[in-house]
Copies of this chain bind each other. A is one copy, B any other.
Amino acid sequence: MSTAEETAGGEAQPWGEVTPDAARRLLLAAVEAFAERGYHATTTRDIASRAGMSPAALYIHYKTKEELLHRISRIGHEKALEILRTASRAEGSATERLADAVSSFVRWHAGGRTTARVVQYELDSLGPDARAEILGLRRKVDAEVRGIIEEGVRSGEFDVVDVHGTTLAVLSLCIDVARWFNVDGPRTPEEVGALYADLVLRMVGAGGPGAAQR
């Protein structure tokens, strides 16, 4: 049904690359705490106790609290980029690839809302260097979506005047899902992904004149 398959579920078995087991537990605890209360409102004692460890244990695996946020942010952005790249480089028309990209990107933001919230909304809490590195990843994310839209315009599938502005709006729409999505709410990540893919295709005028419906 989709090209980016099990990745979009969210937190199936992520953070697998974080290697000492204790470090991974701390990182996971930090993600939860940051998502619930925000970076600045979270204390190192809170993170450590969620991981079942003493406050000092954190500093064996991470130099500072900010390093935790940096690691979370980088891994999360790389995951997001990978999801978009998978959809973007699949076979199919620009229309199919854009729909696939949006729906899997949205499913990631909805299903893995905990992670996505931290990744998308705590960027400003990073120091200048870490922030600059993450902004580089964001530019790649932007380029990936813009690429699909440009190809659709070139092939005549899409009707878009302001490609940059529309790219921004499409990404913005997907990212904001992490702000409002509620796991206990009436919609599943899959439903939101399908709805948003449809809305985005309308935004780019896919289907050509006369085909408002998908």
Contact = CB atoms under 8 A, between A and B. Distances in A.
Given A38-B40, A41-B125, A213-B159, A165 B180 contact: no
Interface string A199-214: 1001101001111110
A172 B169 contact: no
Contacts of A208: 212
B212 A165 contact: no
Interface in A16-40: 37-38, 40
The 4 A-B residue pairs whose C-beta atoms are closest, nearest first, are A40-B40, A176-B176, A172-B176, A40-B41
Interface string A143-183: 00000000000000001001001101100110111011000
A177 to B, nearest CB: 7
A196 B172 CA distance: 12
Q: How many copies of this kind of chain does the complex include?
A: 2
A192 interface: yes
A173 B187 CA distance: 18
A195 interface: yes
B180 A172 contact: yes
Contact of A180 (B125, B168, B202): B168
Nearest to A123: B179
